[in-house]
Chains A and B, each alone.
Chain A
Amino acid sequence: MAGDAMNPMAPGTPKREHGVPVGPGERGAARPPLLSLRGITKSFTGVTALSQVGLDVREGTVHALVGENGAGKSTLMKVMAGVLQPDSGTIEIHGAAVRLHGPADARRRGISLVPQELSLMPHLSVAENIYLGCLPRRAGLVNRRALLRGARQVLERLGANVSPTSLLGEHGPAVQQLVMIARGIVLGGKVYILDEPTAALTDPEIERLFAVLRELQSAGAALVYVSHRLNEITGLADEVTVLRDGHVVQHRAASGVTEDELVRAMVGRSVERFFDRPGKPQGDSQPVLTVSGLTRRGVFEDVGFTVGAGEVVGLAGLVGAGRTEVARAIFGADPVNVGEITVRGRRARVRSPRDAIAAGIVLVPEERKTQGLILNLSISDNIALPHLRSFARGPFMRTRRLRDHTKQASERLRVKARSVSTAVGTLSGGNQQKVVLARWLTRQPALYILDEPTRGIDVEVKSEIYREIGRLADQGAGVLVISSELPELLGICDRILVMRQGRLVGAVPAHAVTEHEILEMAMGTGMS
C-alpha cells in the first residue's frame, strides 16, 4: 500500500506499523474493490495534506478512516469525491483508472459525498435542500409532489421528525446534518462517503443512521466513514485505515480492534482518554448563575436552574429538546418572553451577546463556521476578536503582543497550523473548533457556556479540553456544558440537567446516574 512509498528521509515521518492483515475469511477482503486510490498526494501552499495514500473500498463493506485533527481525512474524502484534484496518484473505479473532473462528474459515476462542513441553503426548504442539484422534474418544471414525497420518505427512514416544507434555516445543526445525509442518500450511487456524519447527532439518531447505512451496505454499496467517536468504528466498519500527518500508518480488519489500538496508531502512543472529575461537594458554593422562569414561547418554558462557582453542569437532552436555545437566550442572542438571569447575585439585563460578555457570560457556539469564526481572518485575529482592546495601546493594535499571546493560546490546545497568521478557513474542521475554544480560555468570566465544545475534535485533544474545563472550574468559574455525548457529560460534570421538549425534566448528580437513566429521562420513557 503506502509504506514503501514513504520518504524515509523526512524527519518526523511516522513509522508504519503493520496491523493485523485483512484475513481471507473477512468479509472485506473477499470482495473486489469498487473504488481504489493509488499513491494519492495532495499539498496546499506549504502543507502536505496527503502523501502517497492508497486505499481500497470494497462492495458491500464499510471502510473507516480515522486520524487526528488535520491528519488529512477530509482532504482524502474530497479527492475521492472529485471536489479536489490530487497532485499525483490515480483513482480507479472497478479497476479502471479514471479522472474525476468535479463533484458532478463523481456523482455521475456513482460517488456521493456527505461533507464534514454543512453546506446548505438556509432560505430553501428542507425538501429542496435534500434534492439540491437533482430536483425531480416533469416537463421542465420541478415536480413538487415527487419532491415532497421523496423528501418525506428519506427523512422518515432516517427517523428525522422534520417537515419537508419548513425552511432549513429554522433548524439547528443536528437536523441540518440529517439533511446533508439525506441528500447523500437520495443522490444514490454505489459509493457513499461520510465525513463525520454523527458529530452533531445524539444516540437515537445515530442508531437510526447506522441502520440505514447497514441497509445500503447490504444492497451492495461501498461506504467510507470518518468519525472521531471511535466506539462507532468497531460496530460499523469492516476495515480501518489510520492516517497520520497525511500518511497511511495502518490498515487492518476492523473486527477485534480495540479503541486503544486505534488511538495508539493515530497518536503514536497511548492516551488516557477518560477524564473523571473528582466529585465536588454539592451545594456549598456561591451560585454564579441563577436562571428562573426563563420562557421563550414555543421553544422552551419555565426553565430555572443554578450553576455554582467551580461547578461544571451538563445539559443533556435529545436533538430539539431546546438546550441550545436556552444557551443562546442566556447569552442574549435570542429574546425571551419572561424570565430572570442573575450573575453573581446581580440581576443581569442581557439583550445582546455584548451585554452578556460584559456581565461575565461567554458562549462557545455550536456552529463554528457561522457563529464562531471569521474564516478569512488569521488564527490570531480570531482568537483576539472579543478582547481586541486588551491588545491595544490607544487605538493601535500591539501586533507583537497579540501574536505572542495567541501563539500561546493556540499551542495550549495544539492547533495544528504553520503559524498563527494562517487563515482559519484553511484549517481542518477539528482545528477550527480548537480556535473557537482558544478564544475564551484566557478570559476570566463568571460563566462559560460550552455548546458541543468537542465536536469534531480528536481523542487526544479532547482529554486536553476536559482538563481545561476542570481547570476553569477550579479557578472559580461556573461551566455549563451542552453535549450529545453522554459519556463525556458524565465524565466531566458535577451535575446534569436533562431537558425534554423545552422543559427541564431532571437534575441529577453526575456520579449517581447512568447513561441509560439520562436517556430515559430525555426520552420520557422512564419512571421519572
Chain B
Amino acid sequence: MTTTADSGVQSGPKAGGRSDTMRRARSVFANSGMIPALVLVIGIGAMLSPVFLTAPNLANVLRISAVVGLLAIGQTLVILAGGGGIDLSVGSVTAAAGVVGALYQGYGLAGTIIAALATGAFFGLVNGLGVTTARLQPFIVTLATLTIARGVSFQLSNATPIYVSVPGLDYLATGAILGIPVPIVILGVALLVGQLVLSRTVYGRKLYAVGGNEEAAYFSGINVNRLRLSVYMISGLLAGLAGVLATARLSTADANFGTGYELAAIAAVVVGGAPLTGGRGSILGTGVGVLIIALFENLLNLLNVNPWTQLMVTGLIVIVVVALNRKGEGGPDRRIWKGLPLYAVLVAGALLLFFVL
C-alpha cells in the first residue's frame, strides 16, 4: 500500500540508516523467545533471591561470563558463515593461548598478550585452512584442533599450572574503567564492535550472503573461501584474548582451563537466535544468549541447587528458548509442546535415580 512511499518520506537523510538498523534489530528480537526468557529469569531471580538483583552480584556474573562471551562472539561469526560452520576448538585454544602467554611472561605484559593472541590466531588459521583449502568438514577439523590444542597445552606446561606474575596483567581482571570492571568493558566493546561489523559493514553483508546461499554468493563474485578463512581466524583470535583474560583472573595458566567452553559458547549462540545452518543471527542476540545462561546458572547457585540438577535445568532452558525462537519462522512451533512430555519423563527419571541410589 502506501508504506513504501511513507518510509521514504518520513526518514530524513540522517534517519535513513538508523531506522534500517533499528528494523533489523527489531526483527532479530521480534517473535523470539529470548526477551521473554531474559525477563523471566530476572523476574524469578528478583523474587526468589534478595541478592540476585544487586549490583555486586550482577557485576560478578558479567565478569565471569566475559570469557565465554568472547568465545560466543567468534562462534557466532563461524556459524553465521554457513557451510556447516562450527568451531569446537575454542575451549582448548583458550587454554593453549593462556599457557603460551604464560611461557612468554618474561617479555612483560605486551609479550604475554601478543603470544596468546598469536597462538589463538594460529589455531584459527589451521581451522580455516582445513575447512577451505582442504575442504574438510568444520566439525571434524575443529574437533581435531580441540584435541591437538589441549595436547599442546599439557605438553608446554608439563601438565602443571604455571604461575603468572606480569606487572599490569591483574588490571585486566580487577581494574575498572569509570567504575565498570575491565573484563566487562572488554566484553561490551567486543559485542558492540561485532554487532557494528555485522550490521553496518561490507564484510557483514558478505557473511550473511555466504551463509544464506553459498552458491549465489560465489556467482556474485564473493571470495567464499577467504571469508570463511577469516571467520575461523577471528574466532581463534578471540579465543586468544579469552585466554589472556582467564590468565589474568586466575593468575595462573592451566592446561585444563576451558574444558567444555565451546559447548557453552554454542549454546549461547543458538539461544541468541542463530540457527546452526547459518545465514541468520546477530551478535546482539548472542549477547542476550550469554546473559540468559549466565544469569540462570547464577540464580541456581544462589538458590543452592546442586550442580547436577543445575546441568539438567540449564540443558532444558537451552531447548525451550531455542524452540521459542523458532516461532518466528512460520507460525507457532507445536513441536516444543510435543517434546515437553519427553523432557518431563527425562527429568523425573533422573530425579528418581537420584533418590533411589
Closest to B21 in A: A399
Q: Is the CB of A388 within 8 A of B206?
A: yes
Q: Is the CB of A377 within 8 A of B223?
A: no
Q: Is the CB of A385 within 8 A of B215?
A: no
Of the candidates B4, B20, B208, which one forms a contact with A374 in the assembled complex, judged by CB atoms under 8 Å apart?
B208
User: Complex Cα distance A373/B216, Å?
Assistant: 6
Which residues of chain B are near A46, meaning CB under 8 Å?
3
User: Complex Cα distance A511/B31, Å?
Assistant: 58
* Residue A397 lies at the interface, judged by CB distance under 8 Å to chain B: yes
* Residue A470 lies at the interface, judged by CB distance under 8 Å to chain B: no
Q: Is the CB of B218 within 8 A of A421?
A: no
User: Complex Cα distance A377/B202, Å?
Assistant: 14
- A376-B279, A399-B16, A399-B20 in contact; A389/B212 too (CB < 8 A)? no
- A371-B215, A372-B219 in contact; A388/B21 too (CB < 8 A)? no
Closest to A85 in B: B331
- A370-B213, A375-B212, A377-B208 in contact; A397/B201 too (CB < 8 A)? yes
Q: Is the CB of A374 within 8 A of B202?
A: no
Q: Is the CB of B202 within 8 A of A385?
A: no
* Residue A29 lies at the interface, judged by CB distance under 8 Å to chain B: no
* Residue B50 lies at the interface, judged by CB distance under 8 Å to chain A: no
Which residues of chain B are near A352, meaning CB under 8 Å?
218
Of the candidates B1, B223, B279, which one forms a contact with A354 in the assembled complex, judged by CB atoms under 8 Å apart?
B223
Q: Is the CB of B208 within 8 A of A365?
A: no
Binary interface profile of A, 25-63, with partner B (CB < 8 Å = 1, else 0)? Answer: 000000000000000000000100000000000000000
* Residue A353 lies at the interface, judged by CB distance under 8 Å to chain B: yes
Binary interface profile of B, 187-229, with partner A (CB < 8 Å = 1, else 0)? Answer: 0000000000000111111101100110111111111000000
Which residues of chain B are near A421, meaning CB under 8 Å?
20, 23
User: Complex Cα distance A247/B228, Å?
Assistant: 47
User: Complex Cα distance A396/B199, Å?
Assistant: 9
Q: Is the CB of B219 within 8 A of A333?
A: yes
Closest to A368 in B: B216
Which residues of chain A are near B213, meaning CB under 8 Å?
370, 373-375
User: Complex Cα distance A384/B20, Å?
Assistant: 16
Which residues of chain A are near B208, meaning CB under 8 Å?
374, 377, 381
Closest to A352 in B: B218
User: Complex Cα distance A389/B202, Å?
Assistant: 7
- A386-B221, A421-B20 in contact; A372/B201 too (CB < 8 A)? no
Give the number of chain A interface residues (Cβ < 8 Å).
38
Which residues of chain A are near B215, meaning CB under 8 Å?
370-371
Which residues of chain B are near A208, meaning CB under 8 Å?
none
* Residue A146 lies at the interface, judged by CB distance under 8 Å to chain B: no
User: Complex Cα distance A373/B219, Å?
Assistant: 10
Q: Is the CB of B216 within 8 A of A371?
A: yes
User: Complex Cα distance A384/B204, Å?
Assistant: 13
- A46-B3, A376-B279, A395-B202 in contact; A403/B221 too (CB < 8 A)? no
* Residue B280 lies at the interface, judged by CB distance under 8 Å to chain A: yes
* Residue A400 lies at the interface, judged by CB distance under 8 Å to chain B: yes
* Residue A392 lies at the interface, judged by CB distance under 8 Å to chain B: yes
Closest to B201 in A: A395
* Residue A418 lies at the interface, judged by CB distance under 8 Å to chain B: yes
Least CB distance from A395 to B in Å reads 5
Q: Is the CB of A397 within 8 A of B200?
A: yes
* Residue A480 lies at the interface, judged by CB distance under 8 Å to chain B: no
Q: Is the CB of A374 within 8 A of B209?
A: yes
Q: Is the CB of A399 within 8 A of B205?
A: no
Which residues of chain A are near B341, meaning CB under 8 Å?
none
User: Complex Cα distance A354/B218, Å?
Assistant: 8
- A354-B223, A403-B20 in contact; A374/B201 too (CB < 8 A)? no
Interface centre among B13, B201, B202 (most CB of A within 10 A): B202
- A374-B279, A376-B212, A376-B280 in contact; A399/B17 too (CB < 8 A)? yes
* Residue B7 lies at the interface, judged by CB distance under 8 Å to chain A: yes
Q: Is the CB of A384 within 8 A of B16?
A: no
Of the candidates A331, A354, A388, which one forms a contact with B202 in the assembled complex, judged by CB atoms under 8 Å apart?
A388
Least CB distance from A436 to B in Å reads 9
- A333-B219, A385-B222, A418-B3 in contact; A377/B16 too (CB < 8 A)? no
Of the candidates A358, A363, A400, which one forms a contact with B219 in the assembled complex, judged by CB atoms under 8 Å apart?
A363
Which residues of chain A are near B200, meaning CB under 8 Å?
396-397, 399
* A-B contacts, 11 listed (Cβ < 8 Å): A354-B222, A376-B212, A377-B208, A386-B220, A388-B205, A397-B201, A398-B17, A399-B16, A400-B17, A418-B1, A419-B3
Residues on B lying within 8 angstroms of A by beta carbon are: 1, 3-4, 7-8, 13, 16-17, 20-21, 23, 200-206, 208-209, 212-213, 215-223, 279-280
The 8 closest A-B pairs by CB, nearest first: A400-B16, A374-B212, A399-B17, A357-B221, A386-B220, A385-B220, A354-B221, A374-B213
Given contact pairs A403-B16, A418-B3, enumerate 15 new A-B contacts (beta carbons under 8 Å).
A46-B3, A331-B219, A333-B219, A352-B218, A356-B221, A374-B208, A376-B279, A377-B212, A381-B208, A385-B222, A388-B202, A388-B206, A399-B200, A400-B17, A421-B20
